[in-house]
Amino acid sequence: MYKKLNFLKHAFLLLIGGMLFFSSCDDNEENEVKPEPAISEVEIGSGNNGIGVIGRDFHFNAEILAGDKIDSVLLQIVPKAGENYESDWSFEIVYMQYKGSKNATVHKHFDIPEDAVEGKYDFLIMITDENGTSLLETREINIYTPENLPVDPQLSTLNIGGLASGFFYRDGEFIDGNVLQKNDTIWSQVTIEGVKGDGIMYVLLIKKDLGHRPETTDAIDFSKAIVYDVYEHKGWEDVDYFSNEVFDLETFTFVRNAPDFKIGAEADNNIPEPSPISGEKSWESGEYYFGVVYKNTTYNFNFFHYIEFEVAGF
């Protein structure tokens, strides 16, 4: 009889202990602090200028690190408290392609819709984690109609010519194929309209397989980019055209000529000191970008444009 009672006592104690153990586990799970997602390297608008233009491309970039794994990335543009608008408008876009990843570079371009309304807005970034946590970041952006922009840099002219063969690229088209040969000597006229104040323009050649296609002057990696030309304007009070080839109508002479450049040159045309064309940017046969990258430093406004061509003979 005693042994039976003793056994029942031990069984009861084990049952109570088990209940306490599982209760403790449940409490620990409820009180567990789950890691939250993190965000860095945020860029909103070209060059992180926080400007959107109705009907035009808008740039967003961010580095995301999940607490566990990314579930979704949500971007919203919503009215800002205290601001007045001509009509109601908001915008939302969700990216699900990063789901299940631990980290991601979210580099996106999308158009500001035609029905957007001018004004200051809150730009919301919400990162949701698969573990149930989330992160919300709020920034401010200004949305303009094109006609109300302080400056509006747009490509007016991009011509590339060969000294011996005439035009290679003109008015948006290649004239006789898109291949430049080793030892060809080229020149390029680039004109950007809609600028004033201070600004600088780089004209670049970059091997496509380097994966470098900078959208702002600050993002140019000169270990990868060959500088064909660099030119700047300062103190312009009125909106005007800006060109790397300047013609004076009064004297009917060129004040500045677009530089000549040999495919296969040992150094580029960077300023103040030419850079050797070596290392990663050494000449090779293959596909290249020819790019124009401009920054208006007065108004923190950026512009870029790229075409693709081939280089042969190396």
What are the pLDDT digits (tens) for 234-275? 999 999 999 999 988 888 888 899 999 999 999 999 999 999
Between 12 and 122, the more confident residue is: 122
Domains of the chain: which residue ranges?
Answer: 38-148, 154-312
What does pTM read for this prediction?
0.82
As a whole number of angstroms, the distance between CA 314 and CA 189 comes to 26
State whether CATH 1.10.30.50 applies to domain 154-312. no
Domain pair 38-148 / 154-312, same fold: yes
Confidence tier at 8 by pLDDT (50, 70, 90): very low
Return the pLDDT at 297. Answer: 96
> At a CB cut-off of 8 Å and minimum separation 6, what does 74 contact?
92, 93, 94, 95, 124, 125, 126, 127, 128
Gap between the Cα atoms of 294 and 165, Å rounded: 28
CATH number of 38-148: 2.60.40.2550
Q: Which residue has the higher pLDDT, 175 or 28?
A: 175
Tokens of residue 116, six digits: 């957007």
The predicted-structure confidence for 202-224, as pLDDT tens digits, reads as follows 999 999 999 999 999 999 999 99
Distance of CA 197 to CAs 155, 251, 295, Å? 17, 25, 11
174: pLDDT strictly greater than 60: yes
